[in-house]
Structure 1
Amino acid sequence: MASFHTEYTPLEAIPKLRTELRDSFASGLTLPPAFRIQQLRQLARMCQENKDLMADALAEDLAKPRIEVLSVEVGAIIHRALHAAEQVPEWTRPEKIEVDTPWQKEWDTRLYRFPKGVVLIIAPWNYPLILSLQPLFAAIAAGCCVVLKLSEVAPHYASLLTRLLPQYLDSRAYRIVNGGVPEVTKVLELQWDHIFYTGNGAIARIISAAAAKHLTPLTLELGGKSPVIVDPASDLTLAARRVLYGKFNNAGQICVCPDYVLIPAAAKPKFIAALQDAYKEWFPNGSLESADFASIVNPTHHARLKGLLDRTKGRIVMGGRVGEDKNGRMVRMELTVVDGVREDDALMEGEIFGPILPILEVRDVDEAIEFVRARPHPLVLHAFTQDDDVRRKVLLHTTSGNLVFNDTFMHLAVSELPFGGVGESGYGRQFNKWSFDLFSYERSYVDIPPHVEPGLSHRYPPYDERAMTIMTAATRMKIPTDEVSGGGLEELF
């Protein structure tokens, strides 16, 4: 991973760029569904025709294994962009709204979904391709113009996309800003019609404050400490393999990564042994030098993770070694498991965002649930169990953006379900039509025909008893008694 620096966008060019996009949006360029479909297909074509260059760029930035890039990032964008292109005619079709009130039956009532306008997407470094292009294709489908702020921490990808995007997409509607703190600060001084940010809570607060000055709506895809609850009666070997798979992806540098494990003492030895067995099977010579295991993004993040290992009071039971990349930089770290971690340990101070998995001992599943409830709402809560009573407890007595039973990471492949956080883990939902909806707004349409005027004449003064009777009818509605049947918590499971 050679040192590399992509050319930053001049600060004085950023307001001009935004103005040009506002003019394009005002012209109606992006409104026709045919334009959106063509641009979505072009986005898929860009990824397909340049997949090798993209894999090379991410190998330089993060030492990402090629199979991860092509399957999790490039392939996912191609599939989802083409699906969105197919669905644009349906998503944009005006919806006839049937009204229940008899005297409104002759009104023309519809619902339109229009683009919000010129939107800002701020992408992170950990999955720089999918986390920049996924919100981009959603904004294209919705008919928005887009400024895409790429992460300076993944410079090879940023440089490649800056070169490719204008070759495939219409530059009148879609532009890139590159840079660090000064550039993103300049971008946030401007008014946008929506901001989509993926990253951490500290930066999200800065972005939220900037957006509040313009009353700009936000989508925040954050993270936090996503726990794993292990029922001791579950298949511990399978649970260990699936948890380790979730921690292994991108060396744990992903917001949905299992951050820590809560497991009863009796089940812990078998679970840890299964983690160790899976590690030996996947990495016979260790993960430190393996081409199938990603690097830490840069020495700064590596030092942070090494510091956590140095400060933990837990016991390393797997991995723990650190090393250099081919250029002599300290950015390699083994897939590591730490046992005996307590809630006040250094590893529990914040999101780990790296290949370290703490194991915390709990009395039972109920104590694990209480542990999760006492902390900020995670982006994902994982639980391994085959017991419906345990599933019900976890579902009804915890809060998380996403709830996944008996696996990790793979829920991201289910595009038919919405994805997003709650509370500290963010807000807003994406995937398929939920992504389209993020960048659209619902515009109500009512046309009241002239011939219904006699039925509306009572609204005009001077008011008489007839007007009073008609216009206050709702105040006399019959309210049902409080005797109800059903509707208990069992209805929610």
Structure 2
Amino acid sequence: MNIAVQANSAQSSEADAARIFALQSAAYRNNPVVPLNDRLDNLKCLERILLDNQDAICAAISQDFGNRSHQETRLLELFLSVDGIRDSRKRLAKWMKPQRRHGSVWFLGARNSVVPQPKGIVGVVAPWNYPLYLVMGPVTSALAAGNRCMVKMAANSRHLCALLHRLVKESFAEQTLAIVPDISGPAFSSMPFDHLIFTGSAESGRRVMKAAANNLTPVTLELGGKSPVIVAEDYDLKTAAARILQMKTVNAGQTCVAPDYLFIHESRLDAFVQHCRVIVPTRYPSLSATDYTSIIDQPSYVRLLGYLDDAESKGAEIINLLPGNISDKSTRKIAPVLVVNARDDMLLMQEEIFGPILPIKSYRTLEEVLDYINDRDHPLALYLFTRQSQVQDKVISLTLSGGVAINDCGLHVAQHDLPFGGVGASGMGHYHGYEGFLEFSKLRPIFKQFAYPAFPLLYPPYGKVFERLIKLMLRD
């Protein structure tokens, strides 16, 4: 495509997005509070799209990746999306009820309440690694809160984007929900949304936040980061290895909450590595296994192999957990790999890996592990394997992360009644379940005065009554 054609296409996409935004703005102005039944109908419609088009969705995602098993997509994207929609439908009536709030004795007879109301138009910027779930999760929360939604998907998700664009357009009016294909990230983020949610890298998140700031648009940022795993001395190594490797190898490690590096006691390192050598081939017999996902694109494939070359050149031991070659250029697959003796000057310890590579650092005391974690940006997730409640309490109280999973990895994301979100460099804001409903709602405080209030006694001119009352109000 030449430059002139690209420019015309971009202008057309931006014009179409502006048209949809105008439709949604008018719809919000005419009907600012969507009734419960309409919200439930929207969620049912969203669920129906997913259930009726499972095979097409799985095929589109696999085509975008080069290879991704349909079973993996059905479990991690379709099931989690559908289950989240059903949970929201079940609880939505309760979430929408006004909340009674306490009032001061000095305003006796008055009533306080908080009413959740839709913010308006929510923009959703979704990444490529879980291109369905990371669209449906925010859209579910936004529609449950009564908003209109516009969605921008990643360039690497073009087949799924085309499919969802068609399916959504067939089932939803554009003034309620629209997938906007081909629009650039900066153009989309610069639109005057009433809320914008972005999932992606920290660097892209900074750009999105700057663009949104021009419109004072509130943002939710889900940014990832380097999520550590700690295996304490008391925990069974085989169980730990089995659970850690599941989240590190699913989607070939291209997961924002994948374990990014592992701390294991120095006395248990060799045993842990041996368990990994046994476990992985039972799940993926070879690099060509159809259940094993390809790396999303060539630049990412080259980047990950560069991390391994850099680590090896700096003294790390590279352990291929599958028989045969460590990579296959024709399929863009990289085998699950352990990097033993990982050092901080290695590239894979400085950047979020986003691939099936697990650096391992040995430790002697828990205190040195906590110091290491606290010297770095707050991660999106922290994983701890221990049966000891004292160790659990210590790690939780002395660190900060977006979320914590104890004795497993990643499954906290699938709990609909737990908020999901980062902190600091790993993001801001929460969604999923009730917190998602709140994130996309304006909690509007309402004060209703009593018919015969006492407060006029404090009106000027100030005299003896005022002095007696204010002394009573400020008494020690």
User: What secondary structure, in the 3-state scheme, does the structure 2 residue paired with 1:171 have?
Assistant: coil
* Structure 1 CA distance for aligned equivalents of residues 367 and 243 of structure 2: 22
* More divergent stretch after superposition (439-448 vs 7-16): 7-16
User: What secondary structure, in the 3-state scheme, does the structure 2 residue paired with 1:121 have?
Assistant: strand
Tell me if the contact between 1:121 and 1:135 (Cα under 8 Å) persists in the aligned partners: yes
Structure 1: any 5+ residue segments left out of the alignment?
478-493
Q: Which runs of 4+ in 1 moved over 4 A?
A: none
In structure 1, the partner of 2:381 is 380
Q: Deviation of residue 66 (structure 1)?
A: 1.1
Q: 1:105-142 CA deviation, whole Å, 9 max, x = no partner?
A: 31132210001111111000000000011100111000
Tell me if the contact between 1:58 and 1:64 (Cα under 8 Å) persists in the aligned partners: yes
In structure 1, the partner of 2:272 is 271
Q: Deviation of residue 212 (structure 1)?
A: 1.5
* Structure 2 CA distance for aligned equivalents of residues 358 and 145 of structure 1: 43
* Structure 1 CA distance for aligned equivalents of residues 33 and 283 of structure 2: 48
Q: 1:30-77 CA deviation, whole Å, 9 max, x = no partner?
A: 611111110100000110000111011111112221111111111121
In structure 2, the partner of 1:420 is 421
Q: 1:390-417 CA deviation, whole Å, 9 max, x = no partner?
A: 2122111111111111111222222121
Tell me if the contact between 1:381 and 1:403 (Cα under 8 Å) persists in the aligned partners: yes
Q: 1:264-293 CA deviation, whole Å, 9 max, x = no partner?
A: 211100011111110122223x2x211111
Aligned amino acid, residue 209 of structure 1: K
In structure 2, the partner of 1:54 is 57
Aligned amino acid, residue 144 of structure 1: N
Matches of residues 266-415 of structure 1 in structure 2 within 5 Å? 266-284=267-285, 286=286, 288-312=287-311, 313=314, 314-319=316-321, 321-324=326-329, 328=330, 331-415=332-416
One of 15, 20, 26 as aligned partner of 1:17: 20
One of 82, 91, 96 as aligned partner of 1:92: 96
In structure 1, the partner of 2:3 is none
Tell me if the contact between 1:30 and 1:145 (Cα under 8 Å) persists in the aligned partners: no
Q: Deviation of residue 242 (structure 1)?
A: 0.8
Q: 1:236-272 CA deviation, whole Å, 9 max, x = no partner?
A: 1111111111101110001000001111211100011
Tell me if the contact between 2:224 and 2:379 (Cα under 8 Å) persists in the aligned partners: yes
Matches of residues 58-457 of structure 1 in structure 2 within 5 Å? 58-62=61-65, 63-99=67-103, 101-179=104-182, 183-284=184-285, 286=286, 288-312=287-311, 313=314, 314-319=316-321, 321-324=326-329, 328=330, 331-452=332-453, 455-457=454-456
* Structure 2 CA distance for aligned equivalents of residues 447 and 377 of structure 1: 42
Aligned amino acid, residue 256 of structure 1: V
Aligned amino acid, residue 129 of structure 1: L
Question: Root-mean-square deviation (CA), in Å?
Answer: 1.7
TM-score computed with the length of structure 2 as normaliser: 0.93
Tell me if the contact between 1:230 and 1:365 (Cα under 8 Å) persists in the aligned partners: no
Q: 1:304-333 CA deviation, whole Å, 9 max, x = no partner?
A: 111111111311122471113xxx4x5211
* Structure 2 CA distance for aligned equivalents of residues 18 and 124 of structure 1: 21
User: What secondary structure, in the 3-state scheme, does the structure 2 residue paired with 1:404 have?
Assistant: strand
* Structure 2 CA distance for aligned equivalents of residues 414 and 175 of structure 1: 27
In structure 2, the partner of 1:487 is none
* Structure 2 CA distance for aligned equivalents of residues 474 and 424 of structure 1: 44
Tell me if the contact between 2:320 and 2:326 (Cα under 8 Å) persists in the aligned partners: no
Q: Deviation of residue 161 (structure 1)?
A: 0.3
The percent of aligned pairs where both chains have the same amino acid is 31
Q: Deviation of residue 472 (structure 1)?
A: 5.0
Q: Deviation of residue 29 (structure 1)?
A: 6.6
Tell me if the contact between 1:263 and 1:368 (Cα under 8 Å) persists in the aligned partners: no
Tell me if the contact between 2:32 and 2:120 (Cα under 8 Å) persists in the aligned partners: no
* Structure 2 CA distance for aligned equivalents of residues 214 and 472 of structure 1: 46
* Structure 2 CA distance for aligned equivalents of residues 472 and 254 of structure 1: 61
* Structure 2 CA distance for aligned equivalents of residues 469 and 179 of structure 1: 69
Aligned amino acid, residue 468 of structure 1: E
Q: Deviation of residue 20 (structure 1)?
A: 1.4
Q: Deviation of residue 423 (structure 1)?
A: 0.6
Aligned amino acid, residue 39 of structure 1: N
Q: Deviation of residue 170 (structure 1)?
A: 2.5
Q: Structure 1's 387 and 470: CA in aligned 2 closer, same or farther, altered over 3 A? A: same
User: What secondary structure, in the 3-state scheme, does the structure 2 residue paired with 1:233 have?
Assistant: coil
How many pairs does the alignment contain? 461
User: What secondary structure, in the 3-state scheme, does the structure 2 residue paired with 1:31 have?
Assistant: coil
Q: 1:425-450 CA deviation, whole Å, 9 max, x = no partner?
A: 10111221111111001111112133
Tell me if the contact between 2:377 and 2:424 (Cα under 8 Å) persists in the aligned partners: yes
